[in-house]
Amino acid sequence: MTFAHRHLLGIEHLAQHEIETLLNLADEYVMLNRAEAKHSDRLAGLTQVNMFFENSTRTQASFEIAGKRLGADVMNMAMQASSITKGETLIDTAMTLNAMHPDLLVVRHPHSGAVDLLAQKVNCAVLNAGDGRHEHPTQALLDGLTIRRKKGRLHRLSIAICGDIAHSRVARSNIILLGKMENRIRLIGPPTLMPSGIQQFGVEVFDDMTRGLEDVDVVMMLRLQKERMDGGFIPSEREYYHRYGLNAEKLAFAKPDAIVMHPGPMNRGVEIDGTLADDINRSVIQEQVEMGVAVRMAAMDLLARNLLETRGAA
Assess 136 for contact with ligand ASP (CB under 6 A).
yes
- Closest contact distance (angstroms) between CB of 8 and ligand ASP is 15
At 212 the three-state DSSP class reads helix
d(CA 282, CA 69): 30
Q: Which is nearer to ligand ASP, 131 or 273 (CB)?
A: 131
- Closest contact distance (angstroms) between CB of 262 and ligand ASP is 9
Q: Of 185-244, which residues contact ligand ASP (CB under 6 A)?
A: 223, 225
Assess 263 for contact with ligand ASP (CB under 6 A).
yes
Q: Which is nearer to ligand ASP, 43 or 246 (CB)?
A: 246
Strands (E), the chain: 47-52, 73-77, 104-109, 125-131, 158-162, 184-188, 204-206, 218-221, 259-261
Cis peptide before 265 (omega within 30 of 0): yes
| DSSP code, position 111 | S
- Closest contact distance (angstroms) between CB of 266 and ligand ASP is 9
> 162 exposed, middle or buried (CB, 10 Å; 0-12, 13-18, 19+)?
buried
Residue from 10, 67, 102, 130 touching ligand ASP (CB under 6 A): that is 130
Half-sphere exposure of 103 (CA within 13 A, CB side): 24
- Closest contact distance (angstroms) between CB of 88 and ligand ASP is 24
Residue whose beta carbon is closest to ligand ASP: 223
Nearest to 163 by CA among 119, 104, 83, 219: 219
Assess 132 for contact with ligand ASP (CB under 6 A).
no
Assess 170 for contact with ligand ASP (CB under 6 A).
yes
Residue from 109, 134, 169, 180 touching ligand ASP (CB under 6 A): that is 169
Report the interface residues with ligand ASP, using CB under 6 A: 130, 136, 169-170, 223, 225, 263-264
